[in-house]
Amino acid sequence: MKNRRDEILAKFNIRRDVDTLKEALVLLGEIREDDEEAHAFEDDMRNAVLVAISEGAANPAGLAGLALISSTIQFSRWCA
Tell me: pLDDT of 80 over 70.
no
> For residues 11 and 47, what is the distance between their CA atoms, to the nearest angstrom?
14
Domain range for residue 43? 2-72
Answer with the residue of higher pLDDT: 18 or 79: 18
In a domain, 42, yes or no: yes
Q: What is the domain count for the chain?
A: 1
Q: Is residue 27 a part of any domain in this protein? A: yes
In a domain, 17, yes or no: yes
Is residue 63 in a domain?
A: yes
* pLDDT tens digits, 12-65: 999 999 999 999 999 999 999 999 999 999 999 999 999 999 999 999 999 999
- Of residues 12, 29, 51, the one with CA closest to residue 37: 29
Q: Are 37 and 1 in contact (CB under 8 A)?
A: yes
Distances (CA, A) of 4 to 28, 41, 73: 11, 11, 19
Judged against a pLDDT cut of 90, whether residue 69 lies above it is answered with yes
Which residues contact residue 59 at a Cβ distance below 8 angstroms, ignoring those fewer than 6 apart? 17, 18
